[in-house]
Amino acid sequence: MIYRRTFFKLGFSAAFLLGGAFSISKSLDFEAMPGFKILDKSDAATLKAFIPVILDGTELNQNEIPEVLQNIEAAIKGLSPSVQGEVGELLLLFKWRPLRWSTGRNSPWSEASFEEIDALLVSWSHHNLELYRSAYSALCELVNASYYSMERSWPTIGYPGPPVLDREESL
C-alpha cells in the first residue's frame, strides 16, 4: 500500500529528475532546422516517426508530414511559456538517452518501427501513472490538432470550413 507521504516523495523526485534533465538538455547540442525555432532536428525526426502512428486511419500521406511539423511548431509557439516548457520536457523524454530508457528504449525513437511506437502509445494511454497518460494525451492532441488545422483534412471530419461573413450586411 502506498501512503500519501510516499506518493508525494515519488512525485517530487520525478519532478526534480525531469526538471534537472530539462536543464541539462539545454546544454545538449541543438541542431537547428531551417524555419524552426522550437523544434530541432532530433525532435523533428522523432515526431516524423510518431505522426503516422498517431494519425493512423486518416488520409495523411508522407508529403504532408513536413506541414504537420510546421503546424506543431506554430501550435507550440501559441502556448503559454509554462506549457511550452512542459512540451519541451516531453520531447526531451524521447531525445535524451537516460530519460529514453524510462520508455524502454535505448536507440532513438526515430529508428523505431510503427509497431514499437504504437505499443508505447497504447501502454501510455492505459498506464497507472497520470504522468504517462498526460504525456500520451498531450502528444496526441498536439499532432491531431496540427493535422486537422490543414484545410485539406477538413472534409474527412465533415468540417465545411469557417463561415463566410458578409461584411456589408453587418455594417
Mean pLDDT by 10 residues, the chain (171 residues): 65 64 54 82 92 94 94 94 90 79 79 93 92 92 95 89 75 55
Q: Residue 124: how many CB atoms within 10 A of its CB?
A: 19
Q: Which amino acid is at 24?
A: I
pLDDT at 10: 65
As a whole number of angstroms, the distance between CA 66 and CA 78 comes to: 19
Give the phi and the psi of residue 68 in degrees, each rounded to 5: -60, -40
pLDDT at 55: 96
| pLDDT, tens only, 62-104 | 999 999 999 999 999 999 999 999 998 888 888 877 777 777 7
pLDDT at 27: 44
CA torsion 122-126-127-128 (nearest 10°) is -170
Q: Distance between alpha carbon 42 and the CA centroid of its chain, in Å?
A: 13
As a whole number of angstroms, the distance between CA 5 and CA 47 comes to: 37
What pTM did the predictor assign?
Answer: 0.76
